[in-house]
Amino acid sequence: GIQVEQSPPDLILQEGANSTLRCNFSDSVNNLQWFHQNPWGQLINLFYIPSGTKQNGRLSATTVATERYSLLYISSSQTTDSGVYFCAVGPLGTASKLTFGTGTRLQVTL
Amino acid sequence: DGGITQSPKYLFRKEGQNVTLSCEQNLNHDAMYWYRQDPGQGLRLIYYSQIVNDFQKGDIAEGYSVSREKKESFPLTVTSAQKNPTAFYLCASSIWQNTEAFFGQGTRLTVV
């Protein structure tokens, strides 16, 4: 099946810093989502982005489907950004099968 | 409010007992999913359903069963055949397959 790799696995930032999280995947996809998992376990939808670029406030994401990677940018980080960020992909030609990476654990300190 | 409701939030069961986790959505979504998350890991797909009265096994279906008798409901039963049932279980739904998926708040199951 499709492989999803996220990097870095762990990241510690001071408040106000910027960061880039990366998601590499091993096959063509027709679905790619970024999620933030808060300390209570809730998965918050950040972006649905199988291709192209989107922005939402301090967050933006870019997916280059032909090169099989996606990037999540966090600017001016805040302590509330702490948590685990997951990339999940749906391989082309398969139905309803989101495969998750192992996540990037982000800690933002004062 | 539209959304996905999982209940209960926390569940404790004795080893050898079957237990059913509830998932209800009022988003009028056709597709529903169950995922399992172990500590420090990503999510793994247990079962999914694209339409009422139809469901498919995911990557780790052994020891689990589901039903889809109504569009808005997709309960998951963790049977005694599941060797390591203690985990965090998340239900999701999407309008159709391979469209944006939305998740419930999850159920933490502990088997003692």
pLDDT averaged over 10-residue windows placed end to end, chain B, 112 residues:
89 93 96 94 93 94 97 96 94 88 96 90
Sheet with A59-64, edge to edge strand ranges: A4-7, A19-25, A69-74, A59-64, A52-56
State the smallest CA–CA distance between residue B15 and chain A in angstroms.
Answer: 24
| Alpha helices in A25-98, H assignment, sequence order | none
pLDDT at A23 over 80: yes
> Cα dihedral sign for A17, A99, B81, B77?
positive
Asked if the C-beta of A45 comes within 8 angstroms of chain B's C-beta atoms, the answer is yes
Lookup: tokens for A75: 């600017």
Q: What's the burial of A47, exposed, middle or buried (CB within 10 Å: 0-12/13-18/19+)?
A: buried
Residue A99 has a pLDDT of 92
**Per-residue confidence (pLDDT) for residue A96, from 0 to 100:** 61
> Any idea what DSSP says for residue B27?
S
Q: What tokens appear for A70 in the block?
A: 């996606």
Residues of chain A contacting residue B100, judged by C-beta atoms under 8 Å apart: 31, 33, 45, 48
Q: Which band of pLDDT confidence, cut at 50, 70 and 90, is reported for residue A100? A: very high
Interchain proximity B42–A96, CB inside 8 Å: no
Q: Which of A95, A98, A103 sits opposite B101 (nearest CB)?
A: A98
Of the pLDDT bands very low, low, confident and very high (cuts 50, 70, 90), residue A1 is confident
What is the band of A32 on the pLDDT scale with cuts at 50, 70, 90?
very high
Question: pLDDT-derived band of residue A95, with 50, 70 and 90 as boundaries?
Answer: low
Structure tokens at B109: 């199951």
pLDDT mean across residues, chain A: 94
Q: Which residues of A touch B41 (CB under 8 A)?
A: 102
Q: Is the dihedral of CA A39, A42, A43, A46 positive or negative?
A: negative
Q: Is B97 an interface residue toward A (CB < 8 Å)?
A: yes
B-chain CB neighbours of A35 within 8 Å are: 103
Residue of B61 and A95 predicted with greater confidence: B61
pLDDT of residue B33: 95
